[in-house]
C-alpha cells in the first residue's frame, strides 16, 4: 500500500470515528495526509502518457483515412507496417512492466487494426465487418497478454463484443431483439467474459482489474435483463427468463455473500427491480390502466428508494470492514 492509500485509510477511519483527533495527529507525524509534489507529478505523467498514446494512435488512423486517395498501395502498406514495427520496437526496448512498454503495446494494438482494415480495402477481400473485428482481436491477443494493461484488455473486450454483436446482427435483426436464441448466445458469451475477468485476470498479472470486472458485469446484465423482461410477456423468451433467474441468483450469492462488491450488488438489485416491475405489470395486466400505471410508479419509486438506502448502509459496512 502506497502513501496515498495509507493516508486515505486513515481519513476513512477518522470519518468512521475509529480514530480521534489526537491519534490522527500522531499518525501525521509519520505519514503526510496531503499528496506531495512528486505524487502530483507521477499522476500527471501517467495521464499525459495515456492521452499521448490515444492521440497518437488516432492520428495514425486519421492520417491514412484523409490521405487515402493520394497514396500508392505499397506506400500505404509500408507506412502502416512501419507504425506497427516502430511501436513494437519501443515496447521491446522499454523496461519490463513499465508505463512506456504498456503504452507502446497499446499503440501497436490500435495500429494493427488499421493495418488489417487497410489490407482488406486494398485487396477487396470481401470480409464482413465482424470478421475484421475477430481477426483484429485474435491478432492482438499476444500483445494484450504481454501488456498486462487494463487499457489493452479493454480494447480487446470491446473488439470481441463488437465481433459477436455484428455476427449475430448479420444472422437476424439483433438490434430489435427479435430472436431469443441470439440473445441467449450473447448472454452466454458475456457470462464467459465475466468469468474470465473474475478468475483469469488476477492470474495474468493485471493490477486493479475491478473496473474491467464491473464493465463485464454490466455487459452481461444488459442482455440478461432485457431477455428476462421480454420473457415475462412472451413464451418463446421463457428460457431467457429462466437464465436470468439462475444467473442473477448465482451472481448475487457470489458478489454479495462472498465478495461484497457493492457496485455489482447495486447493478443486480436495480436489474431485479426492472424485471419484477415487468412481472407485476403482467400479473395486473387486466386491471384499470390508471390504477396500474400509478401502482407501477409507486412500486418503482419505493423499491428504488429502499434499494438506495440499503446500498448506502452496505457501503458503510464495507468501508468499516476495510
Residue 114 C-alpha cell reads as 488499421
Nearest Cα neighbor of 91 from 78, 77, 110 is 110
Q: Which residue has the higher pLDDT, 66 or 234?
A: 234
- 11-15, 66-70, 131-135, 299-303: which range is least confident on average? 11-15
- 112-121, 188-197, 227-236: which range is least confident on average? 112-121
Q: Which residue has the higher pLDDT, 158 or 62?
A: 158
Q: Which residue has the higher pLDDT, 40 or 204?
A: 204
Cα separation, 248 vs 256, in Å, equals 11
Local confidence band at 66 (pLDDT 50, 70, 90 cut-offs): confident
Residue 30 has pLDDT above 70, yes or no: no
Residue 24 has pLDDT above 70, yes or no: no
pLDDT digit string, tens, across residues 249-303:
999 999 988 888 889 999 999 999 999 999 999 998 888 888 889 999 999 999 9
pLDDT at 7: 62
Residue 191 C-alpha cell reads as 457470462
DSSP string, 151-182: HHHHHHHHHHHHHHHHHHHHHS-GGGT--HHH
pLDDT at 1: 46
pTM of the model: 0.80
pLDDT at 322: 54
Residue 38 has pLDDT above 80, yes or no: no
Q: Which residue has the higher pLDDT, 234 or 170?
A: 234
pLDDT at 215: 95
Residue 29 has pLDDT above 80, yes or no: no
- 97-111, 165-179, 197-211: which range is least confident on average? 165-179
Residue 10 has pLDDT above 70, yes or no: no
Contact 108, 91 (CB under 8 A): yes
Amino acid at each position: 500500500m502506497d502513501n496515498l492509500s495509507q493516508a486515505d485509510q486513515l481519513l476513512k477511519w477518522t470519518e468512521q470515528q475509529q480514530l480521534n483527533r489526537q491519534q490522527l495527529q500522531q499518525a501525521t507525524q509519520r505519514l503526510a495526509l496531503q499528496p506531495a509534489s512528486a505524487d502530483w507529478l507521477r499522476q500527471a505523467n501517467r495521464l499525459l502518457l495515456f492521452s499521448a498514446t490515444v492521440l497518437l494512435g488516432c492520428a495514425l488512423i486519421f492520417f491514412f483515412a484523409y490521405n487515402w486517395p493520394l497514396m500508392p498501395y505499397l506506400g500505404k502498406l509500408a507506412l502502416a507496417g512501419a507504425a506497427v514495427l516502430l511501436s513494437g520496437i519501443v515496447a521491446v526496448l522499454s523496461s519490463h512492466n513499465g508505463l512506456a512498454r504498456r503504452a507502446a503495446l497499446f499503440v501497436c494494438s490500435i495500429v494493427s487494426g488499421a493495418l488489417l482494415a487497410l489490407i482488406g480495402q486494398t485487396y477487396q477481400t470481401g470480409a464482413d465487418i465482424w470478421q475484421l473485428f475477430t481477426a483484429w482481436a485474435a491478432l492482438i491477443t499476444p500483445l494484450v497478454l504481454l501488456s498486462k494493461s487494463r487499457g489493452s484488455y479493454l480494447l480487446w473486450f470491446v473488439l470481441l463484443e463488437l465481433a459477436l454483436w455484428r455476427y449475430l446482427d448479420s444472422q437476424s435483426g439483433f438490434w430489435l431483439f427479435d430472436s431469443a436464441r441470439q440473445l441467449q448466445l450473447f448472454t452466454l458469451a458475456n457470462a464467459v467474459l465475466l468469468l474470465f475477468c473474475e478468475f483469469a485476470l488476477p492470474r495474468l498479472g493485471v493490477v486493479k482489474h475491478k473496473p474491467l470486472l464491473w464493465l463485464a458485469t454490466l455487459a452481461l446484465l444488459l442482455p440478461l435483463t432485457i431477455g428476462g423482461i421480454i420473457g415475462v410477456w412472451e413464451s418463446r423468451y421463457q428460457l431467457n427468463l429462466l437464465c436470468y433467474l439462475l444467473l442473477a441468483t448465482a451472481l448475487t450469492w457470489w458478489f454479495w455473500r462472498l465478495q461484497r462488491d457493492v457496485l455489482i450488488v447495486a447493478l443486480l438489485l436495480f436489474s431485479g427491480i426492472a424485471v419484477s416491475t415487468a412481472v407485476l405489470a403482467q400479473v395486473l395486466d387486466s386491471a384499470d390502466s390508471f390504477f396500474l400505471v400509478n401502482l407501477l410508479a409507486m412500486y418503482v419509486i419505493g423499491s428504488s428508494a429502499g434499494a438506495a438506502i440499503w446500498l448506502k448502509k452496505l457501503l458503510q459496512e464495507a468501508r468499516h470492514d476495510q
